[in-house]
Structure 1
Amino acid sequence: MKKLYLSSLMYFILQFFLSLYTGAAHSAASPVESSLTNLKSVCFKKSENAPQEEIHRVWLNLTNTDGIFKQILIGYIKGATNGWDPKYDGYTLDAYKFADFYSINEGRKLVIQGRALPLEMSDTIPLGYRSAITGDLTISIDRADGDLAARDIYLLDKQAGTIHNLRDGGYTFSTTIGVFTDRFEIRYTEDQKLGTHESTIVPQKLTVASKNKVISLRSDAEPLKEVSVFDITGKLLYSSQEIGKSDLEITGIQSGMQILLVKTTFENGNTSTKKVLF
């Protein structure tokens, strides 16, 4: 079986970022496709004489029940900035056939991202992923240290308009095949506004109602362009595109009584997400 070994560049990046540790990096005994997805498998021997520097880290996993596994690292450490840091940041290799998972900074897709100290609770980090499958994926905390070991870590799902505390467990969502760079965001407070950038969300005269397992939408302003319905976990239950009219009735959703999220995109590009009791 072919094995992937740490390049000197990757070792250099990891050595600086994980500066609490010294010693040689062991080669990662994983297939080529893993492309260092399991960052825990890269071992460093901790020096008893190393100074106790301030460092706060969280490892996040992207998995599914069929064995997909990708892992990223976000950490706050002395010397890093919130921009591109060649000493602390590492690009994803995107060598795994079935999926990729990364944080995003200045358009760069990073498997390791260093952030500036101090750790600010207002900080947010966009996440992106690539999927070669249609089905369910889960984002979860693998482990954390420093102040992040005890902090709540929230995952914002912009598509579903929901926010989930990863301390309560992993977040499972439905995906199609493709690359998605604007759906998820890590944050450390729950009370920040949900959704995409405020400049793209303008109030519309939209009525959304549910009765007898039929969801009805009516827009008194812009015609409807796209409508998607999600459950509170972010699972896509319904999607319709190129609607081009002001009214829509949605039938055929198989679900018990629960809160559903109806995301509407209008012809002018504005969006609205409303909750209905189904």
Structure 2
Amino acid sequence: IAGVQGISNELEVPLELVMDYSGQVNLMVDEIQNVSRDIYITDKLTGTSYDVKNEKITLTLEKGVYTDRFVLNFTENAALSVDDEILATSTNIYADNENNNIVVSKDGDVEINKVEMFDILGKKVSVWEIKEQKNTYQLEIKKQIPTGIYIVKMNTNKGETNKKVIIE
């Protein structure tokens, strides 16, 4: 990274990936000068951080341009907080392909504000604003979308959680 004043925990360098094909791509750091810190590539859609200082990573991506999805940074995504653990254990998200729904269930004091669904390129394909709190939601997928893997992002009073679902 040329031209960066200083490397800090807060520094995020946006990466743009242009895929001319659907398939695997390898990402790595070719050369390191004057950097003693760990180096990560973080997928902003899934929240996953990959250590790329000493080894390459292989991602499987669809054809397209990924502008705001990946960043180079110098701290790994933080370990799960108490609220993250509560979300992971007290919520569930899955695709009900027979009824063309995304099913979201929760328990406890989790309040869901909004649910969004993104395709693998990071494009938002559906949004559901949650007005009334209940334990289970059948969220209808109103438009025809292709078969594939999607990311469902749930915004709650305890934070956000993402889950991959398969739409058939």
TM-score bin, normalised by smaller chain:
0.5 to 0.7
Task: Note the C-alpha offset of 1:139.
Answer: 1.9
Residue 257 of structure 1 aligns with an amino acid whose one-letter code is T
- Seen in structure 2, the aligned counterparts of structure 1 residues 126 and 244 have a Cα distance that, compared at 3 Å, is farther
Contact 2:119 2:151 in 1 (8 A): yes
Question: Aligned runs of 1:116-265 on 2, under 5 Å?
Answer: 125-127=11-13, 139-140=16-17, 146-147=31-32, 154-157=41-44, 159-161=45-47, 172-173=66-67, 185-187=71-73, 192-193=76-77, 198-199=80-81, 201-204=84-87, 205-210=90-95, 211-212=97-98, 213-221=100-108, 222-246=110-134, 247-265=137-155
Cα displacement (A) at 1:156: 2.5
- Higher strand content, 1 or 2: 2
Larger radius of gyration: 1
Query: 2 CA distance for matches of 1:255 and 1:270?
Result: 27
> What letter corresponds to residue 228 of structure 1 in structure 2?
E
How far apart are residue 172 of structure 1 and its match?
1.6
Query: Could you tell me which residue of structure 1 aligns to residue 160 of structure 2?
Result: 271
2:7 corresponds in structure 1 to 115
Q: CA RMSD in A?
A: 4.1
Per-residue deviation at 1:253?
A: 4.1
User: With CA pairs under 8 Å and 6+ residues apart, which has the higher RCO, 1 or 2?
Assistant: 2
Q: Is the 8 A contact 1:154 1:186 kept in 2?
A: yes
**1:173/1:233 contact within 8 Å kept:** no
Any conservation in 2 of the 1:217–1:248 contact (CA below 8 Å)?
Answer: yes
Change (3 A) 1:162 1:254: farther
- Deviation, structure 1 residue 202: 3.3
What does residue range 5-154 of structure 1 map to in structure 2 within 5 Å?
57=1, 73-74=3-4, 89=5, 114-115=6-7, 125-127=11-13, 139-140=16-17, 146-147=31-32, 154=41
Preserved CA contact (<8 Å) 2:150 2:166: yes
1:43-69 residue CA offsets vs partner (Å, 9 max, x unmatched): xxxxxxxxxxxxxx35xxxxxxxxxxx
Query: Aligned pair in 2 of structure 1 residues 154, 258: CA closer, same or farther (>3 Å)?
Result: same
TM-score of the pair, normalised by structure 1: 0.38
Matches of 1:256 and 1:243, distance apart in 2: 28
The sequence identity of aligned pairs, in percent, is 18
Q: Is the 8 A contact 2:91 2:106 kept in 1?
A: yes
TM-score when normalising by structure 2: 0.57
Would you identify which runs of 4 or more consecutive aligned residues in structure 1 move more than 3 Å?
159-171, 196-200
Structure 2: 5+ residue stretches without partners: 19-28, 34-38, 51-56
CA gap of 1:197–1:254, structure 2 versus 1, over 3 A, is: farther
How many corresponding residue pairs? 136
Structure 1 residue 115, shift from structure 2 partner: 2.8
Give unmatched runs, 5+ long, in structure 1: 1-56, 59-72, 75-88, 90-113, 117-122, 129-137, 175-182
